Structure 1
Amino acid sequence: MRYQSTRGRAPAVDSVEATLTGLATDGGLYVNDDFATKALDVQEITGGNYMKTAFAVLSRYFDDFTETEIQDSIKAAYTQTFDTPQITPVTEIGPDYLLELYHGPTSAFKDLALCLLPQLLKRAAQKSGTRLMIVTATSGDTGKAALNGFQDVPGIGITVFYPEGKVSDIQRLQMVTQAGRNVTVAAVRGNFDDIQTEVKRIFEREKGSHADNGIQLSSANSINIARLIAQVSYYYEAYRQLLEGGKISRGTRVDFCVPTGNFGDVLAGYYAKRMGLPVGRLIVASNANKVLTDFFETGLYDKRRDFIKSISPSMDILVSSNLERLLFHASNGDAALVGQLMASLSQSGFYRVPDSLLEVIRADFAYGFADDDATKRAIAEAWTRRHRLIDPHTAVAYAVAQKTKGENPMVIVSTASPFKFSKDVLLAIDPKVEASGLTGFDFMDRLATLSSLAAPRALSALREMPVLHPAVIDVKAMQTFVNDASQKDF
């Protein structure tokens, strides 16, 4: 199976090479637009489990891996690494449903892809005889999930950059306490978009390989096609659980409301729909950084705006990289148009899509946003009315779902444990809490007491772990930091 660049100026590659390199040499993202050959009927996964679903999805996209390699990767990723045998349970929240994606080792949805990606990359590197340096930008959750997944994987090093002061205390501690001989972490003075842009520049400068020592650069962000495809699985798995639980009938269309930042999570739902899953609307839920809401409303994507630091920091993004893939698919593979739009975004800070293209996109997507006040109200309402504890990112989707709900069953994608954001969740539920002098762990303990729920052990244990990665650097120092990390790891 061949993967081409969304911008059309790079050679097509097979699935192993697309997984290894992450980003095409022309700066585009790898795609395969032939969804007809990847059709997957729900009947094929009925009576199965998450691993069976994941195999059914991955085997349709990665035919350069053997069935045994894919099965072994899935088993290594999901066996005894999640705190529930369902992996991604679907539960009720009033008349709607929560797709719980936070039961993995780092308590965030990124675990579903980033437990699997290291296994695929390890096998891809073995096929090509390549050593890999993973370079990743994170707005909060990807960093720890990637560090955890790649820890001590032979032949692979990983460097993670996160925006200083723009992740939660727990997210920061998850990264700076990460053990492993092959892991390196730095805070960067700037925001996520600054970091993501520089990571892409590093890839473009190196054209996929590290000039100094012959090490291949790759990515754990959702710009990597393997990570994106891994996320398709849980949309199918959610539908299977609803069907087998008697909540829906076969063929019933289901809406998914997805908290959205870099557009990878909701794009995975779009892929599932194009593969034949009965999805109604994919609802793009944004926080106060509502560049996507404005785009879907007007067709103008404009990053020339103030960056807002919110209580849902993993969504504090103004450049949603995976939207580029949607533009390619919705325009019937018009790589020239996509290249022009991305050039305009890079050079001028905005682009406008043709009305005809916007109409095609709107056929599959709805949209909305919730600022911090609306997010806090959603957390409080979910607790007081539904007795469900949700994190701020899930709360954004919960709030938007209430405003966009139609006739179809609604699944709200729940992306993180509320205990990763204990302070904001607790203050939303009980604004009278005296916050001065309390640490993040104090808030975690109080939230556990209030809710009668236990914080995930991996989060609670952070209070005893030493800081191993104290570095704080400027954006311009990131290239040198990667060079130094490569020398250390290899």
Structure 2
Amino acid sequence: MYFIETRGNDGKKPKKVTFSEAILNPSASYGGLYVPEKLPNIDEKFLQRHLTSHYKELAFDLLRLFSIDIDEELIKEALNLYDKFDDPANPIPVVKVEENLFIAELYHGPTRAFKDMALQPFGYILSSLAKARGENYLILAATSGDTGPATLETFKNRENVKVACIYPAGGTSDVQRLQMVTEDGENLKVIGIEGDFDDAQSALKSLLASEKFHAILQEKGIKLSAANSVNFGRIIFQIIYHIHSYLELVRRKEITFGDTINLIVPSGNFGNALGGYYAKKMGLPIKKILIASNANNVLTELINEGRYDLRNKHLIKTSSPAMDILKSSNVERVLFDKFGAQRTKELMDSLNDKGYYKLNEDELAALQEDFAADFSNDDEVKAIIKEYALEKTYLMDPHTATTIKLFKRYAADKNVAYSTAEWTKFAPTVLEALEGGEKKSDLEALQIISEKLGVAIPQRIAELFHKRIVHTTVVPKEKIEEEILKFL
């Protein structure tokens, strides 16, 4: 399978690239992204075959459907990293919370967030390719809180790879920050910036596209790649768990083959939702993909009204910080799939130049064939956390809580909502939702909730508060490149 570019080709880059080239060099022409030239099909025979299979078998077969140019033994080795999850046989429990609501828990990996599902195998494959080619790579990661820890974890002490991780200082939870700043791998650099996630992501995209930066790295014998979901190596692994969720409902006889379900996805950068969209395009019986946002509701406006408007908008810091994003990268891949490269370039150029674009009526109708959207503010999120913890004995983090408003709108359908992070990463917000009062520290909140509700604190979270802080750098966003070059 080959990969093509969302904004067309500039005559400098190849018109098509292999999967390995797309993940090693993810920056496409005109600042665009790589997408599959054609998606494979998932039929009922494929689903039947995996009704009783292990998650790793499902993942392996799906990757084979994509005909990626990665050795099968390397793929199997990468998928064995799911053995690090709480239950290697079932890394994603799907929990029935109430009638027609099933929550797929994506956070049972090493860093307790959904990014592990893609980054554990992706990191192994990328570093193995670099080593096999005798090439050295700088991996850039911009994070709103979860990509950073998962990226550092997967690449820690791997050969032929260095990682520079950029996060908004003060824009993550304490647990997320500690997961990054206590990482002691010699090949890792964590940089806090005086800005928000959009600033971090813009810096990443700018460096990926910068000929000057590439030239400096070339002099040092270093190539450049990225761990964010701009890299299709992330997305391909995010398709798999949507198929797994569907199969789980069939196994439990909640649905039969051919019945449709909704996916409810808390969305920031849209990679998780894009994985669901591709699964639907490939043949998985999905009725709608329901996009849940927080007060930074640009995606709600896009899907409901057809406008992406950043003019006079400022990022709002919310209780669900991993979704505090205004520029949602993976929407571009949906635009390309719906409207082609020329129109995608027009829309993205307008967003970059004017901070705005608007779909026409036909384009909006095409988008709404697959998506619906809503958002929840912080008060609504806290009310949901309290309701579900105390009345339904299900403890969720603030990102997961944004999905419930959409479930209540579509409660007549079977719905799988995605829990993207464990409650432990946002304990002060969860405790505030349960008891009110002044916000406690992360450690104090973790201990109170654990005792109050009888839930365990994973060892990897508890030990963070006793680890040595290794990374203390915080700089203005204009100094990011300088800090990275110092590190190299």
Q: Please tell me whether residue 145 in structure 1 is matched to residue 150 in structure 2.
A: yes
- Structure 1 residue 423 corresponds to structure 2 residue 431: no
The separation in 1 between residues aligned to 2:236 and 2:224, in whole angstroms, is: 20
Equivalent position of 1:360 in the other structure? 366
Cα deviations by residue, 1:415-456 (Å, 9 ceiling, x for unpaired) = 100011000001101114x54xx4210111011111100012
CA distance in 2, matches of 1:208, 1:233: 33
2:207: which partner in 1?
202
In the alignment, which of 63, 69, 78 is matched to residue 58 of structure 1?
63
Counterpart of 2:38, as a letter, is D
Q: Distance in 2 between matches of 1:484 and 1:83?
A: 41
Partner of 1:338: 344
Q: 2:91 aligns with which of 73, 80, 87?
A: 87
Letter in 1 for 2:98: G
Deviation track 1:116-166 (CA, whole Å, cap 9, x = no partner) reads 111110232244332111001000000001000100111111110000111
Change (3 A) 1:60 1:484: farther
Which of 302, 308, 328 aligns to 1:320? It is 328
Contact 1:25 1:208 in 2 (8 A): no
Report the counterpart of residue 125 of structure 2 in structure 1. 120
Contact 1:21 1:208 in 2 (8 A): no
Q: Aligned partners of 1:18 and 1:39: how far apart in 2?
A: 27
Q: Which residue matches 2:380?
A: 374
Structure 2: distance between partners of 1:19 and 1:104: 22
Q: State the partner residue of 2:283.
A: 276
Deviation at 1:23, TM superposition (A): 2.0
CA distance in 2 between counterparts of 1:465 and 1:36 reads 46
Moved over 6 A (4+): none
Which aligned pairs between 1:215-294 and structure 2 lie closer than 5 A? 215-294=222-301
In structure 1, the partner of 2:482 is 480
Amino acid corresponding to residue 25 of structure 2 in structure 1: T
Deviates more, 1:284-293 or 1:203-212: 203-212
Q: Is the 8 A contact 1:280 1:408 kept in 2?
A: no
Contact in 1 for aligned 2:146/2:322 (Cα 8 Å) = yes
Letter aligned with residue 98 of structure 1: I
Contact 1:375 1:399 survives alignment (8 Å): no
> What is the CA–CA distance in structure 2 between the aligned matches of 1:62 and 1:132, rounded to whole Å?
25
DSSP-derived class of the 1:158 partner: strand
Deviations 1:245-290 (A, max 9, x none): 2222111111110000000011101111111111111000000000
2:450 equivalent to 1:448 = yes
Q: Which amino acid aligns with 2:298?
A: V
Q: Please say if residues 195 and 475 of structure 1, whose CA atoms lie closer than 8 Å, have aligned partners that are also in contact.
A: yes
Letter in 1 for 2:464: L
The farther-off stretch of 258-267 and 352-361 is: 352-361
Q: Tell me, what secondary structure is at the counterpart of 2:30?
A: coil
Alignment of 1:407-422 (within 5 A): 407-422=412-427
Match of 2:59, SS?
helix
Question: Given the superposition, is the C-alpha separation of residues 355 and 128 from structure 1 closer, same or farther in structure 2, using an over 3 Å criterion?
Answer: farther
Equivalent position of 1:20 in the other structure: 24
* Cα distance in 1 between the residues matched to 2:178 and 2:203: 23
Q: Give the aligned partner of residue 300 of structure 1.
A: 307
Aligned residues: 479
Q: 2:78 aligns with which of 65, 73, 76?
A: 73
Specify every segment of 5 or more residues in structure 2 that has no aligned partner in the other structure, as ranges.
none
User: Could you tell me whether the CA contact under 8 Å between 1:88 and 1:100 is conserved in 2?
Assistant: yes
Q: Which residue of 2 aligns with 1:8?
A: 8
CA contact (8 A) 1:394 1:414 kept: yes
Task: Map residues 383-398 of structure 1 onto 2, 5 A cutoff.
Answer: 383-398=389-404
Cα shift at 1:396? 0.6
Whether the 8 Å contact between 1:45 and 1:56 is mirrored in structure 2 is no
8 Å contact from structure 1 (residues 33, 329) kept in 2: no
Contact 2:84 2:110 in 1 (8 A): no
Counterpart Cα distance in 2 of 1:427 and 1:218: 40
SS of the residue aligned with 1:31?
A: strand
Deviations 1:196-241 (A, max 9, x none): 0111010111486723313111111011001011111111111112
- Distance, in Å, in 2 between the alignment partners of 1:65 and 1:38 is 21
Secondary structure, aligned partner of 1:442: helix
* TM-score calculated relative to the size of structure 1: 0.95
Distance 1:280 1:456 in 2: 36
In the TM superposition, what is the alpha-carbon distance from 1:54 to its structure 2 partner? 1.1
Aligned-partner SS, 1:188: strand
Q: Contact 1:16–1:62 (CA<8 Å) still a contact in 2? A: no
Three-state SS of the structure 1 residue aligned to 2:192 is strand
Q: Per-residue deviation at 1:243?
A: 1.1
Give the AA of the match of 2:406. V
The letter of the residue matching 2:453 is S
Contact 1:257 / 1:401 at 8 angstroms: preserved in 2? yes
Inter-partner Cα distance in structure 2 for 1:208 and 1:248: 51
Task: Give the TM-score, by structure 2 length.
Answer: 0.95
SS at match of 1:79: helix
Equivalent residues of 2:82, 2:88 under 8 A apart = no
Can you give the 5+ residue segments of structure 1 that lack an aligned partner in the other structure?
Answer: none
Contact 2:42 2:284 in 1 (8 A): no
Once residues 58 and 115 of structure 1 are traced to their aligned partners in structure 2, the CA distance between those partners, rounded to angstroms, is 15
SS at match of 1:167: coil
The Cα of 1:407 is off from its aligned counterpart by: 3.1
Question: By how many angstroms is 1:37 displaced?
Answer: 5.2
| Secondary structure in structure 1 of the residue aligned to 2:210 | helix
Tell me the distance in 2 between the aligned counterparts of 1:170 and 1:73: 27
Identity %: 36
